[in-house]
Chain A
Amino acid sequence: MTWQGWAEIAFTLSVTIALGWPLGLYMARVWTGQKTWLDPVAHPIERGFYALCGVKPDEGQGWLGYASAFLMFSGAGFLLLYLILRVQGVLPLNPLHFAGMSPHLAFNTAISFVTNTNWQSYAGESTLSNLSQMAGLTVQNFASAAAGIAVAAALARAFAANRGEKLGNFWADLTRVTLYILLPISLVLAFVLLAQGIPQTLAASVDAKTLEGAKQTLVVGPVASQEIIKQLGTNGGGFFNANSAHPFENPNAWSNLIEEIVMNALAFGVFIAFGVVAFARKEARALVAAAAIIVSSAAALIYVNETLPTPALVHAQHVVATPNMEGKEVRFGAPSSSVWTAMTTGASDGGVNAMHESYTPLGGGIALFLIKLGEMTPGGVGSGLYGMVVMAIIAVFVAGLMVGRTPEYLGKKVEAREVKFAVLATLILPTALLGFAAIAAVLPEALKGLSANGPHGLTEILYAYGSAVGNNGSAFAGLTANAPWWDTTLGIAMGLGRFAYAIPVLAMAGSIAAKPKLAPTAGTLPTNGLQFVLLLLGVILILGGLQYFPPLALGPIVEHFQMLSANR
């Protein structure tokens, strides 16, 4: 641990969180259809889109309509992507002549990108044509991010409504978020990354001569355009297998910083926009604080764990102040890898600049725990916000009773229906995660994919399903997942984690919208101060802890104690 390391972590996180404000205020304008400075360019395109597709942007949808549109859009995206991946061999822009994917891999990959997970059971540079990367994956990088943000916008409108029925128009939300937020930011920053040295070409590869004089073929492609939305949309699916540890995805400290900031800033922005639209700016700030505290503490804990010398080294009297560098890029070192790891697992991004598999037990365990908390710190764009709101509702319900009133959140009474949908949404995570993990842990076919035995192998399993259910997409890299069992079950887990969570949330939004918006009284539990932040943190950590303590104990925790006792 060095002060420079701490400073880097603090700087990265504070800039990211601070950027949430301007982004959020702007996003709120986009959600509410107000004028923006992009109107001269984007508005005609928006109108054209609506005319072309027959969308009536002012025609609000009830929760069922909104949810159906969301499902239909994702379903269509899945089918299209599945098709492209299967038949890429006969499609153009395939300079390296890759064949189509196997059915299970195409299923896994398609659902992965549609659900904003971007779990990759394949290595991009040796599997995918440029067309698949651009027209297949990158399109879904935009679309899945925009769909997630749309659901968050609908939830915000539900809280703003007073005995309302409509949650907005999904198609309009999708169009506006893409056109006014994702595309322009990606366009600008793609050029910045390009300037940092990230390739953007339709060529297949370049040849380089190494220092020893050998010829090396380096795969290139349209990387910059995919790299930026990969981070901005909390997708995380890299062009290359090594993801952002690859020099062509992440060439230097600047690109690293930009990618880190971009991977969380927009998700924080959704929190702020939610506050503006739901008339709950202070309350949204409390949610930001809770998310920021968790992700910052996680970054700090990972950093501590990744820089403490392991007992084995101490025993061997190799007491040098070197951090655990296994699996880390020398270019980035422990601090940058630690903060990135916390941000990517807190954000359901899943892009990595170091291999989590090689972290210390607790360092990797914290990343695993962040994923298991349900991706809300700050989570995926949109999905993080609604995950956090669900937790806030549970927190308000349990603790709020203790002030002697039917609990309210943001002026809406939390009653049986809301609790039912919140519980339903949160139930899907442990069910899918633990259910699949427990089967995989005893299934020989599944165990073949592991690279390690003992607790570390269990962590690989838990991490994979956690990553899938949480729509994170990062992997404990040791797992070889391109096999029918893993591809299929992870695909199902991703689908459940996305839709079996978002649909109850939308149903809850429908119920919330229909309620009268109440003004707070002296008897109402305030949900904007330090007290609420601590309460929310307590609920998130205790509920998360209670659900996952046994598997964590059998994975990273026991591995940690084994490591400590190994040389006694």
Chain B
Amino acid sequence: MATATLAAPGGNSSAVSGTTLSGSIALSAARDAFRKLNPRHLASNPVILATEVVAALASISTVAAILSHQGWGFALQISLWLWATVLFANFAESIAEGRGKAAADALRATRVTTSAKLIVDPESGLTVPTPAHKLEVGQVVLVEAGDVIPADGEIVEGVASVNEAAITGESAPVIRESGGDRSAVTGGTTVVSDWLKIRVTAAEGASFLDRMIAMVEGANRRKTPNEIALAVLLAGLTLVFLIVVVTLVGLGKYAGVVVDPLVLGALFICLIPTTIGGLLSAVGIAGMDRLLKFNVLATSGRAVEAAGDVDTLLLDKTGTITFGNRMATEVIPAPGVSDQAAMRAAVMASLADETPEGRSIIDLARHAGVTGETPRGATVIPFSATTRLSGLEAEGQSWRKGAVDAVVRNLGLQPTQMPAELAAAVDRIARSGGTPLAVSEGDRLVGVIHLKDVVKPGVKERFADLRRMGVRTVMITGDNPVTAAAIASEAGVDDFLAEATPEDKLRMIREEQGKGRLVAMCGDGANDAPALAQADVGVAMQTGTQAAREAGNMVDLDSDPTKVIEIVEVGKQLLITRGALTTFSIANDVAKYFAIIPAIFVVGLPALGALNVMHLGSPQSAILSAIIFNALIIVALIPLALRGVKYRAIGAQKLLTRNLLIYGLGGVVAPFVGIKIIDLIVTTVHLA
């Protein structure tokens, strides 16, 4: 699991990392909690708004009691705890936001007011110093070593190494160049060497950094579909309990009991789901925050939530499932050629080959004790797409390696004229998903190299986990179907798409979505953009093109494609946490009834004392204890809301049983214990 953290410039990574709350965040959150008492702020949270209204009414009745010289100690305590309930809920939200704000502040500090070198005359390259915020989309600027890139843009000319620590926290510079998949640059990063000409793609305020700050800060946070559905349910429950409590006036009067409105208010607050109502937004913000800890930025909460629902995960083979480059695993000699000779020929043919594949052949040979040195005056035969082979020529000797048919034809032979043993080996390699390379020395075929795509260790287990989560994995590769099938089975993916073009990817996503499935994918290239936009969860790599970054709804700052799996887990965790807190909140009500109902009616109907199963000290202490428990449980659950309920890939049924026992059954039992303990304290110190 990745442990990287979003770092502030200068490698100060303390801003957002860690699960513990720093004192300053807690302090400003506490201040914030009071500011959020403004009813307008609470309008979007009916449960807490209702609590605030009741708290206000209770305060008024307390004041009235004081003015009329009646006993007011109880009323005051109830009022204070009701206000505390609202404050605790606000505090939970502020704490969650505070962590995001700290990250945003760190980002904002990187935004320096730079002066850009605007190119006014492309012919002569004449530049005019222009403030960065005056740049317009489409203008071209020159950035030289030491300059801060003034805006997001696309490189039109040049190659340079760029330090992107401001964005990624990674201090090692990366290469950015025009054309290809590494042509995007981000405003606020610094060119370390060379120069670039950049066409501005985002104006001030709409840049990647700006969007990141907004996202992290939660400034444009909107309720997600699932949050809306849950809010509807919570509002419904609140209404039901409002009816239950209001009608209790009439029913109580029938039974000869005039119920104190203050007590009814307390009962109402105990019954409505204040726990989940108070923690709901904190859970959502914390979900984004957890992604941030994985160095992933989501453009919306909706995307995070969708991640939990993903049914199909499209994974690029290269870099995600395999190491990304094929490695030589064996050299099969032709009949009559010794292992050593074949290996040596392979080495000689590869000496000039700087590709990872070529390196891997030399590594393999070194392990077998064979080394080679480039002879002096050797001519390098470079690889080309037409010849499909490469090699070395020196002192009348020649070595070639390349695609089997290319090498064979180069020797003036027909493919059918290959020795049977070698033909069998080629066939076997191809069928196992590897790539066979033929090696020739002079005019003789000396052997076949087995190049293999090596599957990363551990991915098979991850895919099995995903399968248990109900997520189907699909490998996307440009390989032929045979190779693809072999790697797919080795890696344990559920399906694969071979010889895939970007259009195929897009088509596959649409097909899956047509079946009602949610699709996640990650990509970096410009040609991934349509698929990223189409996918429900599109994770763009930070190193990718501007187009890809615009199209995705998440950006992975580490550019690690395997991270999609963690993203899915974070999404699931988010939903589980909401469900667990809701269940807990509702289950709590059982005990609260047993505390409050006998307390209200025992005077008029002594027989109801039998329902006081907790043997609470007095009716007043019972009510006070219930309301205190109701307030404190919010604080007690803030860490859980921020951390999230742990997700385990053990299958839906087992997971549900586990969570139902903890949060359902636990939710029924915990308040019986908690209210009893609080009652003992309340009674001992004579609060009621």
Contacts and interface: CB of A to CB of B under 8 A. Distances in A.
Interface of A: 162, 394, 397-406, 414-416, 418-420, 423-424, 426-427, 430-431, 434-435, 437-439, 441-442, 455, 457-458, 461, 515-519, 521-526, 529, 531, 535, 538, 542-543, 545-547, 549-551, 553-554, 557-558, 561-562, 564-565
A554 B583 CA distance: 27
B652 A394 contact: no
Contacts of B523: none
A526 B652 contact: yes
Contacts of B233: 394, 397-398, 419, 423
A399 B590 contact: no
Interface string B60-71: 000000000000
Interface stretch (B160-168, B430-438, B602-610): B602-610
A458 B660 CA distance: 36
B589 to A, nearest CB: 5
Nearest to B226: A406
B655 A434 contact: no
Interface stretch (B37-45, B181-189, B248-256): B248-256
A79 B444 CA distance: 102
Given A427-B240, A522-B470, A546 B271 contact: yes
B590 A420 contact: no
Contacts of A415: 225-226, 229
B334 interface: no
Given A415-B229, A423-B233, A522-B470, A546 B579 contact: no
Nearest to B241: A546
B470 to A, nearest CB: 2
A437 B229 contact: no
Interface stretch (B150-158, B203-211, B570-578): B570-578
Given A522-B468, A525-B652, A535-B660, A558 B607 contact: yes
A457 B254 CA distance: 9
B370 interface: no
24 contacts: A398-B233, A399-B656, A401-B226, A402-B656, A402-B663, A403-B652, A404-B573, A405-B470, A405-B572, A405-B652, A406-B575, A414-B229, A416-B225, A434-B244, A441-B253, A458-B255, A515-B516, A522-B468, A525-B653, A526-B653, A529-B653, A531-B657, A547-B244, A554-B251
A404 B307 CA distance: 10
B236 A423 contact: yes
Contact of B659 (A402, A516, A518): A402
Contacts of A455: 255, 605
A458 B252 CA distance: 10
Interface string B77-101: 0000000000000000000000000
A519 B311 CA distance: 10
Tell me whether chain A's interface is mostly helix, strand or loop, or mixed: helix
B36 interface: no
A546 B589 contact: yes
Greatest chain B CB density within 10 A among A431, A522, A549 is at A522
B608 A403 contact: no
B308 interface: yes
A519 B471 CA distance: 12
Given A403-B579, A522-B468, 17 more contacts: A402-B645, A402-B655, A402-B656, A403-B655, A404-B576, A423-B235, A437-B250, A439-B250, A442-B250, A458-B251, A521-B471, A523-B471, A526-B653, A535-B660, A553-B608, A554-B252, A558-B608
B561 interface: no
B651 interface: yes
Contacts of A406: 225-226, 305, 308-309, 575
A415 B656 CA distance: 19
Given A415-B226, A419-B232, A426-B236, A554 B601 contact: yes
A442 B579 contact: no
B579 A402 contact: yes
A550 B235 CA distance: 20
A542 to B, nearest CB: 7
B251 A550 contact: yes
A435 B243 contact: yes
Given A402-B660, A441-B254, A524 B470 contact: yes
A427 B655 CA distance: 30
B247 interface: yes
B225 A405 contact: no
- Chain A CB count within 10 A is highest, among B228, B580, B589, B607, for B607
B256 to A, nearest CB: 9
A426 B589 CA distance: 18
A542 B244 contact: no
Contacts, number: 211
A438 B308 contact: no
Nearest to A517: B516
Contacts of B663: 402
A399 B254 contact: no
B687 interface: no
Nearest to B472: A521
B611 A553 contact: yes
B512 to A, nearest CB: 11
Contacts of A437: 247, 250-251
Nearest to A562: B607
B587 interface: yes
B232 A431 contact: no
A430 B244 CA distance: 8
B381 interface: no
A398 B586 contact: yes
B235, B236, B663, most chain A CB atoms within 10 A: B236
Interface string B297-314: 000000001001101000
Contacts of B232: 416, 419-420, 423
B338 to A, nearest CB: 52
Contact of A549 (B226, B246, B593, B656): B593
A286 to B, nearest CB: 13
A316 to B, nearest CB: 20
Contacts of B605: 455, 554, 558, 562
A553 B239 CA distance: 21
B440 interface: no
B243 A430 contact: yes
Given A404-B647, A405-B308, A442-B250, A416 B244 contact: no
A457 B656 CA distance: 43
Given A405-B575, A523-B652, A561-B608, A549 B516 contact: no
A397 B610 CA distance: 35
B580 A402 contact: yes
A351 to B, nearest CB: 29
Nearest to B609: A561
Contacts of A401: 226, 230, 575-576, 578-580, 582
Interface string B208-236: 00000000000000000110111011011
Contacts of B230: 401, 419
Nearest to A400: B579
A457 B256 CA distance: 13
Contacts of A461: 254
Contacts of B655: 402-404
Contacts of B134: none
Contacts of A523: 311, 468-471, 652
B686 interface: no
Contacts of A403: 576, 579, 652, 655-656, 659
A404 B469 contact: yes
A414 B250 CA distance: 37
B607 A565 contact: yes
